[in-house]
Amino acid sequence: AQKITQTQPGMFVQEKEAVTLDCTYDTSDPSYGLFWYKQPSSGEMIFLIYQGSYDQQNATEGRYSLNFQKARKSANLVISASQLGDSAMYFCAMRYMEYGNKLVFGAGTILRVKS
Amino acid sequence: EPEVTQTPSHQVTQMGQEVILRCVPISNHLYFYWYRQILGQKVEFLVSFYNNEISEKSEIFDDQFSVERPDGSNFTLKIRSTKLEDSAMYFCASSEAGRKTPLHFGNGTRLTVT
C-alpha cells in the first residue's frame, strides 16, 4: 500500500536558520511525483515544490529545496534562511502514476519560526 | 494569477440537511478534486473528476456524496444528509494534465454540522 510518513509533528527553528522537514514514502511504483504544500493558519493550501521520481537533480524553488534520496524513499524539504512568515503546517504529498491523478498527503509537520 | 474559488467560505447546517459546496476551478484545468480536512488533521482525498465523470473516489465518498459539473465553470460537492462527523474543511482543487502538475487548491469551505 502506498503511504506517506511525516514523523515530525512539530518543529521549531530560529529565524534566519535552515530547517529540514522529513518525509518518507512507500511505493513499489517506479514512477511517482512528490509535492510539498504549505498551509498557513489562514487555511489555504499553497504549492511549494515538486520532485519527480526520474529527476536526476534535487528540485529547488527559491528558499525551498528537496533533499531527494530515492534509495531511502525520502524527500525532505529544506527551508533556508527561515522567516517568521514560514510558520505554518507543511504537507508532503505523493502522486502515484499508476493509480490516477490524485495526491495522497502525509499527516503534516507544524513549523514555528522563532524571532 | 488564476485561482480556484470556493463558496461559501463557511456553511453551518443542521444534521440531516443537504448541503452543496461550490467551486470554480481554474478555467483551462482538466482534472477536479475534492478533499477534506478535519480540524488540524490530515488532508483526505474524496473524489477526482475528469471528462465529466468520476475518475476515482475514496472510501469516504459514499452514497451520501455526489459531485457535478453543471456547466462549463462550476464544480459542486453535494452531501445529501449531513452527519456531525461531516464537519470539516472541504477543499476543491484543480490541475492540468500531466504528472508533474500540482493541484491548485481553493481557500476551502468550512462546514459545521450541528
Tell me whether A100 touches chain B (CB under 8 Å). yes
- φ/ψ region of B98 (left if φ > 0, alpha if ψ in -120 to 50, else beta) reads left
Tell me whether A95 touches chain B (CB under 8 Å). yes
- Chain A CA closest to residue B43: A105
Nearest residue, CB atoms, B105 vs list A45, A100, A101: A45
pLDDT grade for A27, boundaries at 50, 70 and 90: confident
Give the span between the Cα atoms of B26 and A46, in whole angstroms.
Answer: 15
CB B23 within 8 A of CB B106: yes
Nearest residue, CB atoms, B48 vs list A31, A100, A108: A100
**Tell me, what's the pLDDT at A71?**
94
Tell me whether A43 touches chain B (CB under 8 Å). yes
Residue pLDDT, tens place only, B55-89: 999 999 999 999 999 887 899 999 999 999 999 99
CB B47 within 8 A of CB B31: no
What percent of chain B has pLDDT above 90?
Answer: 85
Residue pLDDT, tens place only, B89-110: 999 999 998 888 999 999 999 9
Q: Which of A36, A39, A55 is nearest to A110 (CA)?
A: A39
A1 pLDDT above the threshold of 70 = no
Cell numbers linked to B68 = 457535478
CB B39 within 8 A of CB B58: no
Nearest residue, CB atoms, B43 vs list A33, A52, A105: A105
pLDDT grade for A30, boundaries at 50, 70 and 90: confident
Cell numbers linked to B107 = 481557500
